[in-house]
Amino acid sequence: MKYALRNTWTCQRGKSPEAMTGFKAVAENYRGMGVPTRLYVDISGDMDVIVMELEIDSLDEYFKDQRAFYAGMDDATKGLIDALNGNTSSGKRILYEIIEF
């Protein structure tokens, strides 16, 4: 079974370009780990929205890796995460099962 994990962030007004720089770095990290990753930005609807979608094979592995990542962050990574948190005002996570046909 495969899953699509869609994280959506609403950025503070005018902070989307700065936030996108950080999200690109995060997405490249996921891709480097072999995780298919896409970034989306709003064209219509709510403004200042960035979406990162990951395709994952195992929920257990994903959450295990997430815990290890946050436990082992170096100072540069902490700075990146702090900047992302500072540029966003809210976020949500939705998990989908991918249906193969």
Residue 23 confidence (pLDDT):
93
Residue 66 confidence (pLDDT):
87
Residue 74 confidence (pLDDT):
86
Nearest to 56 by CA among 6, 21, 10: 6
Please check whether residue 55 is in contact with residue 36, taking contact to mean a CB–CB distance below 8 angstroms. yes
User: Tens digit of pLDDT for each residue in 4-59?
Assistant: 999 999 999 989 999 999 999 999 989 998 999 999 999 998 899 999 999 999 99
Nearest to 4 by CA among 41, 51, 71, 48: 51
Q: Radius of gyration (Cα) for the chain, nearest Å? A: 14
Nearest to 7 by CA among 96, 87, 70, 74: 96
Name all domains of the chain by residue range, CATH numbers in brackets. Answer: 2-98 (3.30.70.100)
14: which DSSP letter? Answer: T
- pTM, two decimal places: 0.87
Q: List the alpha helices (DSSP H) in the chain.
A: 16-32, 59-71, 75-87
